[in-house]
């Protein structure tokens, strides 16, 4: 290994030293590479094995690698949805002593998918619209903490399933800027315009390749980010005025934001001199309202819509067992051990990489509802699980490491890599036939 090699990381993984940094990334041997679908990138990006996990490696300049590494660290501290930074590798040289590009290493986001891998044959309008809505939420969250992206696109985003919707994560922060004083309306509008243009191009690219369902309007899908963004941004930041005898409107505004998945850290309230009118405006808004509540009650760290669905099931359980007057934390623990965990552990080990546990639980609830509707009566959970596992889950792709169809950016076929399991208690499986 060249003596000049420099590794910058908050926590150095010894496995980084064993990767072939003296070889151009394009020529790395297959023993180090994981062949996964990825989005379009201006730089060479490849996935590699690192100490039993998958990481993404991007060749770029040392200045850009360090800048993006710092930016991802800042976004993580602000709790913005983004990939986790791992390291910057600089001072690379080949066997002849010639310099090689620096590399940025980030952790692969488990159970995430690039937008091109979210469909098997063609992209349906409903899926496209849900992706755009997820990107709009991500953009609002980033703008809310003062992050100007500069290159908003589906390709620079990863998506995770979130109880019928998607949660979006920033992948490429190379062009981003963080403004502590917040963004101007012009900066936000520029990001939105870039997003609309890029999305339209990406959807049209799918259309040109015959991978878009007939009759889909690419421009209409791209325009969707404008309406979704403005609707959510307005809900979070618009000033609202009402009569002094309508104080309940304050509670209503807070509840509306909570329903959207946001918490208010501070509220500006102003009254007219004669006391007849009151104006309110949220000043600090944090995303993840339902996530935080579920994490506090159960220790489960899931996506926002998944948290909302699990909390609804928890509340139904609390009412069903007549425990409405009991301590919420105690009932939550009982729900976790008697309801959620048995369903998750009932999934055979070979199917656990298909979807993350919270998404599996959500889909089991959906499957139970459809079966009950079809029969006109409740269906035992054991029967629901059998039907779901054999008829639905077994036929899904493994998403723990994004196993999926090849994309235009891949030169090699996808191979089985051994999907990462999300549950460590391999020997702690239970017989799901015991469930009722």
Tell whether 173 and 278 lie within a shared domain: no
Whether 117 and 157 map to the same domain: the answer is: yes
Residues 227 and 355 placed together within one structural domain of the fold? no
CATH number of the domain residue 38 falls in: 3.30.200
Same domain, 294 and 427: yes
Q: Give the domain extent around 386.
A: 290-434
Q: pTM of the full predicted structure? A: 0.78
In this prediction, the residues of the chain whose per-residue pLDDT falls under 70 are 1-3, 37-41, 119-123, 215, 283-285, 322-325, 400-436
Note the pLDDT of residue 2. 47
CA triple 425-428-434, angle to 5 deg: 140
Q: Where are any strands of DSSP class E within 39-132?
A: 45-50, 53-60, 85-90, 102-107, 112-113
Q: 88, 68, 63: which is closest to 10 by C-alpha?
A: 88
Considering the domain architecture, whether residues 116 and 226 belong to the same structural domain is answered as yes
64 and 159 fall within a common domain: no
Examine the domain organization and report whether 311 and 422 are in the same domain. yes
Number of domains in the chain: 4
* Contact call for residues 378 and 403 (beta carbons, < 8 A): no
Residue at a domain's end among 251, 272, 287: 287
Q: Within a domain: residue 210?
A: yes
Residues 150 and 102 both lie in one domain: no
Among candidate residues 60, 91, 107, the one where a domain is terminated: 107
pLDDT computed for residue 426 by the predictor: 34
Asked if residue 332 belongs to a domain, the reply is: yes
Q: What is the pLDDT of residue 285?
A: 67
- Determine how β-strand 240-243 pairs with β-strand 277-287: antiparallel
Same domain, 265 and 378: no
- Note whether 278 and 312 are same-domain residues: no
CB 309 within 8 A of CB 362: yes
In a domain, 1, yes or no: no
Rounded-to-integer distance, Cα 134 and Cα 140, Å:
10
**Judgement on whether residues 404 and 426 belong to the same structural domain of the protein:** yes
Same domain for 215 and 81? no
């Amino acid at each position: 290994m060249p003596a000049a090699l420099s590794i910058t990381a908050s926590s150095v993984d010894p496995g980084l030293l064993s990767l072939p940094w003296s070889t151009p990334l394009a020529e790395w041997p297959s023993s180090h590479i994981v062949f996964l679908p990825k989005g379009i990138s201006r730089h060479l990006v490849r996935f590699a094995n690192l100490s039993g996990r998958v990481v993404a490696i991007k060749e770029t300049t040392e200045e850009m690698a360090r800048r993006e590494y710092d930016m991802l660290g800042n976004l993580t501290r602000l709790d913005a949805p983004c990939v986790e930074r791992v390291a910057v590798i600089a001072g690379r040289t080949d066997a002849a002593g010639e310099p090689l590009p620096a590399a940025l290493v980030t952790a692969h986001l488990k159970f995430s998918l690039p937008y091109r891998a979210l469909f098997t044959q063609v992209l349906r309008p409903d899926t496209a619209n849900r992706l755009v809505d997820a990107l709009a939420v991500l953009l609002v969250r980033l703008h809310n903490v003062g992050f100007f992206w500069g290159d908003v696109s589906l390709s620079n985003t990863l998506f995770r399933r979130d109880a019928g919707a998607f949660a979006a994560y920033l992948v490429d922060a190379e062009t981003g800027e963080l403004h502590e004083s917040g963004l101007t309306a012009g900066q936000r509008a520029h990001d939105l315009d870039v997003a609309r243009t890029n999305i339209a191009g990406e959807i049209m690219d799918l259309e040109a390749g015959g991978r878009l369902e007939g009759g889909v309007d690419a421009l209409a899908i791209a325009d969707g980010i404008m309406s979704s963004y403005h609707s959510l941004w307005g809900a979070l930041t618009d000033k609202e005025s009402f009569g002094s005898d309508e104080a309940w409107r304050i509670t209503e505004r807070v509840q509306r934001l909570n329903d959207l998945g946001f918490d208010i850290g501070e509220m500006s309230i102003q009254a007219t001199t004669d006391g007849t009118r009151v104006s309110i405006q949220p000043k600090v808004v944090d995303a993840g309202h339902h996530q935080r509540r579920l994490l506090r009650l159960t220790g489960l760290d899931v996506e926002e819509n998944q948290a909302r669905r699990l909390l609804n099931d928890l509340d139904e359980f609390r009412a069903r067992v007549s425990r409405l007057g009991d301590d919420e934390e105690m009932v939550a623990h009982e729900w976790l051990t008697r309801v959620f965990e048995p369903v998750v552990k009932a999934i055979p080990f070979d199917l656990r990489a298909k979807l993350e546990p919270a998404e599996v639980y959500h889909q089991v609830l959906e499957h139970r509802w459809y079966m009950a509707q079809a029969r006109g009566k409740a269906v035992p959970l054991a029967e629901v699980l059998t039907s779901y596992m054999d008829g639905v889950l077994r036929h899904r792709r493994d998403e723990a490491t994004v196993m999926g169809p090849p994309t235009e950016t891949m030169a090699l076929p996808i191979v089985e890599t051994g999907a990462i399991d999300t549950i460590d208690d391999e020997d702690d499986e239970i017989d799901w036939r015991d469930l009722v």
